[in-house]
Amino acid sequence: MQNLVLAEQSKLIDTGYDVCPKCGQKLIKKGYTQSKFHAVFSDHKVGIQKHKCRNPECDWQSTPTTTSVFGTSIHPDLAKLQCSQGAMYSYREAQSNLEKLTVHHRLVNNHNKIKLMTNQVGAVLAKENLKLPAAEECVPRATEVIVQVDGGHIPIKDKDKRSFEVLSAIVYRPENICTIDQHHRKIESKSCAFSAQDDGLATIKTYLFHAALKQGMDKNTVVTALADGALNCWSVILSLVPHCRELICILDWFHIAKKFQNVRGTVEESFQDTLERVKWTLWHGKSEEALSNLKILMTSVTDSSKRKKVAALYNYLSQNQAYLVNYQQREQQNQTYTSQVAESHIESIINARHKKSGKMQWTREGAHKVLQIRGSIASNEWSNGWQEPVLIALGVAA
């Protein structure tokens, strides 16, 4: 069927020549040339009209191909499919998935070709994300937005280094958090930004600003920002100060609770009640009291390795004291204080793609490009927004 349709369609292909580009005389038709064309599920040969110059003195003749006429021999829908697969799975898994879909092996879906396409489209998105979003990409003004900035690590096989850091920024409106059931919540609409660039946070700061604009942030918006306490995450968040009315920074309760849980398992049973009380005091916004009690607990622990763990918790909290709030009060007032929506955590984004494929030799540049497509998918922008980056990557659009 596809061959029959293509045969009809190819008659309508305009190769772009009216007159001879060499001497300006009229052209005459000179049969058809067969050229490769890769549709979504199948590969074809398409006949494209050839021309030659009418002038007997002139030797010009055209040798059109799908690539010379369209910029590519790959249908954009296939390129989109390759990118979607390449962003979500390892390139070999993507190849196998596409083989199952088309029920036969296709050279065009070889893992190297999927990698190439994914990288090309990811590179276009990486560049696009640096540009201010257009008005139609932004939702109306928001009185409040929530920002989560997080860091994750992608392992590499480099002898000197074990991993490199990826930063994520997620922006959403509080009204877009929906309750699924007692234990699950979902963010209906969000803008996600990822960067694996080692550029002093410049890229992720720009991406975060643009993601916040897409969610409706302006100079009158109150931004509530959650982070796990890492200095570079605060630095990214603080770059929003000039763009909003107020920035409320909160040490993410999700991470505080996780840290307490880790220490709890290491201290003696007799100390666990004290530790629990410290956490309770912290929950109620009394950070001074919590910290001084934790310090007393720390000095009471005699085992040096156990003391180190309590000390690490103490240092973590005291370094982030400025970002400790009254969590209990915020919960009562239905305000954000934790990033408890699981899908929003960077680990789930990275794990889904970069950690699973242990054999991959990831570079910052490669990961950065793949993450741009993942970000677009996670932001629900890909299903409507894939065309532009795919067409640019294919050379069909400028």
**Which lies closer to Zn ion via its Cβ, residue 56 or residue 358?**
56
Nearest distance from C-beta of residue 53 to Zn ion, angstroms: 3
Nearest distance from C-beta of residue 33 to Zn ion, angstroms: 18
Nearest distance from C-beta of residue 35 to Zn ion, angstroms: 23
* CB half-sphere exposure, 92, CA atoms < 13 A: 5
97-126 footprint of Zn ion as x/- string (CB under 5 A):
------------------------------
What is the β-pairing status of strands 27-38 and 246-251?
A: unpaired
Residue 178, interface with Zn ion (CB under 5 A)? no
Nearest distance from C-beta of residue 25 to Zn ion, angstroms: 5
Residue 370 to residues 83, 110, 157, 350, 388, Cα–Cα distance (Å): 9, 17, 18, 10, 17
Nearest distance from C-beta of residue 14 to Zn ion, angstroms: 19
Residue 20, interface with Zn ion (CB under 5 A)? yes
Q: Is 311 exposed, middle or buried (0-12, 13-18, 19+ CB in 10 A)?
A: middle
**Which lies closer to Zn ion via its Cβ, residue 26 or residue 104?**
26
Number of residues that bind Zn ion (CB under 5 A): 7
Nearest distance from C-beta of residue 51 to Zn ion, angstroms: 10
Nearest distance from C-beta of residue 97 to Zn ion, angstroms: 49
Instruction: List the interface residues with Zn ion, window 271-300 (CB under 5 A).
Output: none
Residue 192, interface with Zn ion (CB under 5 A)? no
**Which lies closer to Zn ion via its Cβ, residue 6 or residue 58?**
58
C-alpha angle 36-40-45 in degrees, rounded to nearest 5: 20
Q: For 186-199, give the DSSP string.
A: EESSEEEEEE---S
Distance CA 334, CA 331 (A): 5
**Which lies closer to Zn ion via its Cβ, residue 22 or residue 162?**
22
CA-closest candidate to residue 63, choices 27, 23, 33, 29: 33
Nearest distance from C-beta of residue 22 to Zn ion, angstroms: 4
Instruction: List the interface residues with Zn ion, window 370-389 (CB under 5 A).
Output: none
C-alpha angle 150-91-350 in degrees, rounded to nearest 5: 10
Q: Which of these segments, 14-22, 121-129, 236-244, 385-393, binds Zn ion (CB under 5 A)?
A: 14-22
**Which lies closer to Zn ion via its Cβ, residue 26 or residue 245?**
26
Q: Which of these segments, 23-31, 106-114, 182-190, 385-393, binds Zn ion (CB under 5 A)?
A: 23-31
- Long-range contacts for 107-112 (Cβ within 8 Å, ≥24 apart)? 107/43, 108/38, 108/43, 108/74, 108/78, 109/82
| H helix or E strand, kind and range, residue 351 | none
Extract the tokens encoding 66. 């799908």
**Which lies closer to Zn ion via its Cβ, residue 20 or residue 391?**
20
- Sequence letter at residue 20: C
C-alpha angle 104-109-115 in degrees, rounded to nearest 5: 155
Whether 42 and 49 have beta carbons less than 8 Å apart is answered as no
CA-closest candidate to residue 89, choices 383, 380, 342, 377: 377
**Which lies closer to Zn ion via its Cβ, residue 23 or residue 130?**
23
**Which lies closer to Zn ion via its Cβ, residue 58 or residue 123?**
58
The helix, strand and coil proportions of the chain, stated in percent and rounded to the nearest 5, come to 50, 20, 30
**Which lies closer to Zn ion via its Cβ, residue 53 or residue 87?**
53
Taking CB under 5 A as the criterion, the residue among 11, 16, 22, 246 binding Zn ion is 22
Instruction: List the interface residues with Zn ion, window 28-67 (CB under 5 A).
Output: 53, 55, 58, 60
Whether 66 and 88 have beta carbons less than 8 Å apart is answered as no
**Which lies closer to Zn ion via its Cβ, residue 53 or residue 211?**
53
Nearest distance from C-beta of residue 203 to Zn ion, angstroms: 51
CA-closest candidate to residue 84, choices 305, 311, 387: 387
Nearest distance from C-beta of residue 50 to Zn ion, angstroms: 14
Q: Which residues bind Zn ion (CB under 5 A)?
A: 20, 22-23, 53, 55, 58, 60
